[in-house]
């Protein structure tokens, strides 16, 4: 018996990008090197078989976290570790991207696109078995086995997203990192893809790391949510708790501004302010210039992500003091 | 906060709608035959009213907006119907006459505020130029009006902002500048095509609240084209749901959202994940919007419709009143046989 290890553990991960001007410009214009910390000290764990979502506005670092987890970026600081899969090896990770038009090769037949990971990782012995697996995958995601012969341009956006899901499943992953998988799709098609992803989770026991800016989609999909603001997690809570009792002022702002179809908050004065530039983050808590309950301390000391009532963790001085 | 009214003193007669589109059709001739992008679309917008035009990609909502503005790209052309803006027919005007009407009578707000502004000129210069072109004001008067416009769209420190270039503005602030430009000549109608799609939710809420406020204060009519039912629910007074080039349902926004009649609207509303309760599986509409060159006969929605009968594939249903809304479905007009 080994100790239980969650599917994914992200521990104090930071990512710094060098956004300096070219070398010659720096010398001539006497400009210093410029760094931006896109993700700072982010920690969370994802339990096997659950869906963990990261939400936030553009530029908050949520997609960078997805790319760090899949190894597309290297971490600057911190550790990312994976649990063990069914056969004792570390779990496999795959990624689904936002834009189904640019994430599949237009010159390859769909069958080859899906077969590539199988061939590359030698998951099947013969070509015949590989193609049988491709047909099986196509049927799993709701396409026809004959579609393997077609090219991506013959499919609509929703069908192409099904192809990229089939390709992601081809390497038999246990953890799927989904970066805005439905943001490029229409609502009626979005529902098809979300239903498919939920069904696959039940059937294959998948674990999801789900990145989205759409809170209603996140609510539908996830068990646990982390809200990011300017590279940091400001609140982390089980889904029901975050939606019924958000604690961080930014989570409250997000929930208050999202358009609500069932009972629209018409004519409510919107809260002013915009997210600051990550190049020049405010001192202390990054949210303090927009925060309605900011105190003097907020502009000086960065709040830590502390346990709050319920199973939440909140990074806010005002919440910590209560 | 607002000292002077933004709309020019152009009191519209109570009966004249800001926009009256009747039986509009738009076609795109191509080598493989003529594609009908908009088919017999009618809509009215009263002064001070926001009409939401909603639909999925390919429904023809943006084309409708472009047709009103006279900005259809060749080979696209209006093949039928009439468009009246503030009582004046605009679809028959020559390009030269249209240039005068565009901007003065109708303004436009597009999705990406960066491409709508000229990066080489300051925001002030662009505003002053637009105001002077349409009103013939003196430079000083136009400058004052530009200042008032920036103030009314909620840009802090407008005097300094007038001297800045578009790249010095954030996305939300840029969209406010574009709104100020659209309002510059005091138009009767604004076509806002996905004005908040490129913005974050907290900024989106600010912009929709601003549109609402300007509409109430200046009496301009707004055609809000979007794919986001949430934005419509928060902002619009009435809504037109489009599918494959036709209006399938229209009516007061609360009625269409809470009590949709057309099977497509019903499916669309059920497919949106709720913020309030969680369901195991979302209702989904199988298939996708037909392409223009493969539009089904009869009602274009019938291959995806769970209630479709023989009549649905035979004839196109007209838009008729069903209760308080108008709906184009044979099912609601006495059966599908």
Domain ranges, residue A47: 8-92+173-321
Question: Of the candidates B202, B111, B279, B305, which has an alpha carbon nearest to the alpha carbon of residue A216?
Answer: B279
pLDDT, one tens digit per residue, over B136-184 is 889 999 999 999 999 989 888 899 999 999 998 888 889 999 999 999 9
Subunit contact A269:B209, Cβ cutoff 8 A: yes
Which distant-in-sequence residues (6+ apart) come within 8 Å of B191 by Cβ?
B65, B68, B69, B106, B107, B108, B109, B223, B225
Of A219, A253, A274, the CB nearest to B273: A219
Residue of higher predicted confidence among A5 and A235: A235
Of A58, A264, A267, the CB nearest to B233: A264
Residues in chain B with CB shorter than 8 Å from the CB of A192 are 284-286
Q: Is the pLDDT reported for residue A16 higher than 90?
A: yes
Q: How much is the ipTM here?
A: 0.79
Which of A162, A203, A252, A264 should we substitute to test contact with B (largest number of B Cβ atoms within 10 Å)? A264
Q: Determine how β-strand A93-96 pairs with β-strand A175-179.
A: parallel
Of A57, A195, A268, the CB nearest to B281: A195
Nearest chain A residue to B55 by CA: give it: A186
| Percent of chain A predicted with pLDDT > 70 | 97
CA distances from A153 to A100, A108, A251, B80, B229 (A): 11, 10, 40, 33, 28
pLDDT, one tens digit per residue, over A33-73 is 889 999 999 999 999 999 999 999 888 899 999 999 999 99
Instruction: Return the pLDDT at B15.
Output: 65
Residue A99 lies in a domain: no
What are φ and ψ of residue B250, in 5° steps? Answer: -145, 150
Instruction: Return the pLDDT at A31.
Output: 86
DSSP state of A21: P
Closest chain B C-alpha to A192 CA, distance in angstroms: 6
pLDDT, one tens digit per residue, over A222-244 is 999 999 999 999 999 999 999 99
Residues in chain A with CB shorter than 8 Å from the CB of B154 are 272
Q: Is the pLDDT reported for residue B5 higher than 50?
A: no
Subunit contact B276:A274, Cβ cutoff 8 A: no
Instruction: Return the pLDDT at B11.
Output: 47
Which of A64-78, B35-49, B153-167, B282-296 shows the lowest mean pLDDT across its residues? B282-296
CA distances from A207 to A43, A49, A235 (A): 17, 4, 21
Subunit contact A266:B234, Cβ cutoff 8 A: yes
Written as six digits, the tokens of B271 are 């497919």
User: Which run of H or E residues covers position A308?
Assistant: none
Question: Of the candidates A30, A126, A13, which has an alpha carbon nearest to the alpha carbon of residue A65?
Answer: A13
Question: Of the candidates B109, B271, B268, which has an alpha carbon nearest to the alpha carbon of residue B198?
Answer: B109
Q: Is the pLDDT reported for residue A4 higher than 50?
A: yes
Residue A266 lies in a domain: yes
Residue A165 lies in a domain: no
Cβ atoms B224, B98 nearer than 8 A: no
pLDDT, one tens digit per residue, over A141-165 is 989 888 999 999 988 888 999 999 9
Cβ atoms A75, A15 nearer than 8 A: yes
Instruction: Return the pLDDT at B249.
Output: 95
Of B203, B268, B281, the CB nearest to A187: B268
Closest chain A C-alpha to B185 CA, distance in angstroms: 26
Which of A66-75, A124-133, A249-258, B43-52 shows the lowest mean pLDDT across its residues? A249-258
Cβ atoms B280, B274 nearer than 8 A: no
Residue A103 lies in a domain: no
Which of B264, B279, B288, B300 should we substitute to test contact with A (largest number of A Cβ atoms within 10 Å)? B288
Q: What is the mean pLDDT of residues B65-72?
A: 92
Chain B positions contacting chain A at CB under 8 Å are: 56-57, 154, 170, 172-173, 200-206, 208-209, 212, 227-231, 233-235, 257, 267-269, 271-276, 278-286, 288-289
Instruction: Return the pLDDT at B82.
Output: 95
Instruction: Return the pLDDT at B327.
Output: 93
DSSP state of B261: -
Which distant-in-sequence residues (6+ apart) come within 8 Å of A21 by Cβ?
A29, A31, A34
Instruction: Return the pLDDT at B7.
Output: 46
CA distance between the termini of chain A: 42
Q: What is the mean pLDDT of residues B246-273?
A: 92
**The domain that contains A88 carries what CATH number?**
3.40.50.300
pLDDT band of residue A3 (cuts 50, 70, 90) is: low
Residue A261 lies in a domain: yes
Q: Is the pLDDT reported for residue A275 higher than 90?
A: no
Instruction: Return the pLDDT at B8.
Output: 44
Subunit contact B200:A219, Cβ cutoff 8 A: no
What are φ and ψ of residue B179, in 5° steps? Answer: -65, -40
Q: Give the bridge partners for B29, in sequence order.
A: B34
Q: Round the average pLDDT of chain A to a whole number and report it.
A: 89
Q: Determine how β-strand A51-55 pairs with β-strand A224-229.
A: parallel
C-alpha count within 13 angstroms, C-beta hemisphere, residue A142: 19
Question: Of the candidates A231, A234, A206, A233, which has an alpha carbon nearest to the alpha carbon of residue A223?
Answer: A206
Q: What is the mean pLDDT of residues A75-86?
A: 90
Residue of higher predicted confidence among B300 and B288: B300
Q: Is the pLDDT reported for residue A259 higher than 90?
A: no
CA distances from B30 to A154, B75, B132 (A): 20, 8, 41
Question: Of the candidates A63, A139, A134, which has an alpha carbon nearest to the alpha carbon of residue A99?
Answer: A63
pLDDT, one tens digit per residue, over B231-256 is 999 899 999 999 999 999 999 999 99
| Percent of chain B predicted with pLDDT > 70 | 95
Q: Is the pLDDT reported for residue B273 higher than 90?
A: no
Which distant-in-sequence residues (6+ apart) come within 8 Å of A38 by Cβ?
A15, A16, A17, A61, A64, A231, A278
d(CA A271, CA A291): 10
Whether the CA torsion A308, A311, A313, A316 is positive or negative: it is negative
Residue A184 CA from chain centroid, whole number: 15
Instruction: Return the pLDDT at B4.
Output: 46
**Structural domains in chain A (count):** 1
Whether the CA torsion A235, A51, A166, B290 is positive or negative: it is negative
Which of A203, A257, A271, A280 should we substitute to test contact with B (largest number of B Cβ atoms within 10 Å)? A257
Residues in chain B with CB shorter than 8 Å from the CB of A199 are 281
Which of B194, B205, B243 should we substitute to test contact with A (largest number of A Cβ atoms within 10 Å)? B205
Residues in chain B with CB shorter than 8 Å from the CB of A256 are 205
Q: Is the pLDDT reported for residue B130 higher than 70?
A: yes
Residues in chain A with CB shorter than 8 Å from the CB of B200 are 57-58, 213, 275
Q: Is the pLDDT reported for residue B315 higher than 50?
A: yes
Subunit contact B274:A219, Cβ cutoff 8 A: yes
């Amino acid at each position: 018996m080994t100790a239980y290890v969650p599917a994914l553990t992200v521990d104090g991960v930071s990512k710094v990008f060098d956004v300096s001007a070219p070398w010659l410009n720096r010398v001539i214009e006497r400009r210093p090197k410029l760094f931006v910390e896109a993700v700072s000290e982010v920690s969370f764990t994802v339990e096997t078989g659950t869906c963990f979502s990261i939400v936030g506005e553009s530029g908050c670092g949520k997609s960078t976290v997805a790319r760090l987890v899949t190894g597309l970026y290297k971490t600057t600081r911190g550790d990312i570790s994976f649990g063990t899969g069914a056969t004792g090896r570390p779990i496999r990770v795959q990624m689904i991207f936002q834009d189904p038009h640019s994430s599949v090769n237009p010159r390859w037949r769909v069958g080859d696109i899906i077969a590539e990971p199988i061939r590359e990782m030698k998951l099947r012995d013969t070509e015949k078995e590989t193609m049988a697996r491709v047909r099986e995958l196509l049927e799993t995601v709701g396409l026809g086995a004959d579609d393997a012969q077609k090219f991506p341009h013959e499919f609509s956006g929703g069908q192409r997203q099904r192809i990229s899901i089939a390709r992601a499943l081809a390497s038999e992953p246990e953890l799927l990192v989904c970066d805005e998988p439905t943001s490029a799709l229409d609502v009626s098609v979005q529902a098809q893809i979300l239903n498919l992803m939920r069904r696959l989770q039940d059937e294959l026991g998948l674990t999801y790391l789900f990145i989205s800016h759409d809170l209603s989609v996140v609510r539908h999909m996830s068990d646990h949510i982390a809200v990011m603001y300017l590279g940091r997690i400001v609140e982390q809570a089980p889904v029901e708790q975050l939606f019924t009792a958000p604690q961080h002022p930014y989570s409250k702002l997000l929930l208050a501004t999202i358009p609500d179809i069932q009972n629209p908050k018409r004519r409510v004065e919107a809260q002013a302010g915009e997210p600051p530039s990550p190049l020049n983050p405010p001192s202390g808590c990054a949210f303090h210039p927009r925060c309605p309950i900011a105190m003097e301390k907020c502009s000086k000391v960065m709040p830590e992500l502390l346990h709050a009532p319920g199973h939440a963790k909140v990074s806010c001085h005002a919440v910590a003091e209560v | 906060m607002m000292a002077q009214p933004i709309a020019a003193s152009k009191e519209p007669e109570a009966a004249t709608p800001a926009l009256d589109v009747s039986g509009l059709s738009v076609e795109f001739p191509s080598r493989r035959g003529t594609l009908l992008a908009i088919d017999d679309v009618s809509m009215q917008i009263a002064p001070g009213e926001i009409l939401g035009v909603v639909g999925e990609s390919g429904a023809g909502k943006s084309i409708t907006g472009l047709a009103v503005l006279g900005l259809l790209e060749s080979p696209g052309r209006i093949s039928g119907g009439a468009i009246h803006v503030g009582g004046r027919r605009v679809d028959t005007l020559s390009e030269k006459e249209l240039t005068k009407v565009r901007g003065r009578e109708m303004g436009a707000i597009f999705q990406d505020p960066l491409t709508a502004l000229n990066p080489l000129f300051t925001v002030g210069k662009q505003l002053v130029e637009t105001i002077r072109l349409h009103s013939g004001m003196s430079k000083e008067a136009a400058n004052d009006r530009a200042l008032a416009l920036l103030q009314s769209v909620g840009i802090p420190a407008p005097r300094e902002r007038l001297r800045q270039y578009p790249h010095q503005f954030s996305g939300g602030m840029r969209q406010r500048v574009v709104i100020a430009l659209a309002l510059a000549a005091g138009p009767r109608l604004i076509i806002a095509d996905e004005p908040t799609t490129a913005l974050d939710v907290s900024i989106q809420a600010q912009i929709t609240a601003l549109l609402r406020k300007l509409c109430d204060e200046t009496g301009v009519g707004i055609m809000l084209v979007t794919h986001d039912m949430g934005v419509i629910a928060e902002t619009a007074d009435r809504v037109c749901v489009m599918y494959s080039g036709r209006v399938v349902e229209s009516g007061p926004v609360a009625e269409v959202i809470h009590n949709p009649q057309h099977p497509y609207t019903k499916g669309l509303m059920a497919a949106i994940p709720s913020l309030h309760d969680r369901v195991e599986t979302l209702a989904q509409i199988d298939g996708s919007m037909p392409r223009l060159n493969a539009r089904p006969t009869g009602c274009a929605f019938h291959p995806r419709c769970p209630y479709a009968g023989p009549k649905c594939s035979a004839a196109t249903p007209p838009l008729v009143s069903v209760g308080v809304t108008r709906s184009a479905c044979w099912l609601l007009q006495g059966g599908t046989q």
